[in-house]
Amino acid sequence: NWQTKAEVGSLQLTKAAIFDIQSHEDFIFLATGDGAVIKVDLHTNTVLQRVSHAVKSARCLAVNAGANELAVGYSDHYIRVFDLATLQLRHEWKAHENSVFTIRYTPDGQTLLSGSRDARLKAWNAAAGYTQQAEVVAHMYAINHIEFSPAGKHFVTCSMDKSIKVWDVATLSLLKVIDKARHAGHGTSVNKLLWTSHHNQLVSASDDRSLSVWNLTFQTPSI
């Protein structure tokens, strides 16, 4: 409770690591190190469903509310898409050559972006059975996180290669690189990003134990 600063509940859900949490309506979904995906009712603090379709870790989650789907990226290189209500498996495919560390749906829900330890950024057509639309060698090392701008026209990726990159959603064109050489960026792996609506600022978190705030200004190339 934010006002009383008292714990209102606690759940022991797994003995494995929890790698990601996503919320939707009155539920939260968790991705765990033993390959399970868990759905929890926030009102009752009870586990509603638990599904396991892989031995290796479930690493990242993305909700597509419009299609009633939950996408999950795994350390076995696969992405699996589940029914949001029942957690029944709808789609699965080998998406990368290494662990899938981050996935995000575009704001319109038509495309799923994935980033991997293989340094590839891929786009999947969610409206056509998740056929591959594009592949970009986006970084030198693992892609740790994908984050969309508040307006939904751009997204950013961050990597173990210490860089942050800004992309155009429509074309997957690279617009800007933020790194130590160009912008006095982070000196070690950049792990997490938050693009806020407050003055269009981007916040980055790194293994160097620092948070950086960036004021992004750029022009999208004409198409």
62: Cβ contacts below 8 Å, ≥ 6 apart: 22, 70, 71, 72, 103, 104, 105, 112
> Is the pLDDT confidence value at 47 over 50?
yes
Q: What is the pTM of this model?
A: 0.91
> Are 44 and 26 contacting, i.e. CB atoms less than 8 angstroms apart?
no
- The pLDDT of residue 40 is 97
pLDDT in tens, 58-73: 999 999 999 999 999 9
Phi, psi of 66 (to 5 degrees): -65, -35
Could you report the per-residue pLDDT of 88-132, keeping only the tens digit for each?
Answer: 999 999 999 999 999 999 999 999 999 999 999 999 999 999 999
**pLDDT single digits (tens) 154-183:** 999 999 999 999 999 999 999 999 988 787
* pLDDT band for position 219 (cuts 50, 70, 90): low
The confidence band for 221, taking pLDDT boundaries of 50, 70 and 90, is: very low
Q: Rounded CA gap, 55 and 49, in Å? A: 18
pLDDT band per the 50, 70, 90 thresholds, residue 194 = very high
Give the model's pLDDT for residue 171: 94
Name the DSSP letter for residue 183: H
Per-position DSSP letters for 157-182, written without gaps between them:
EEETTS-EEEEETTT--EEEEE-HHH
How does residue 218 score in pLDDT terms, banded at 50, 70 and 90?
low
Measured CA distances, 47 to 50, 59, 151 (Å):
7, 19, 34
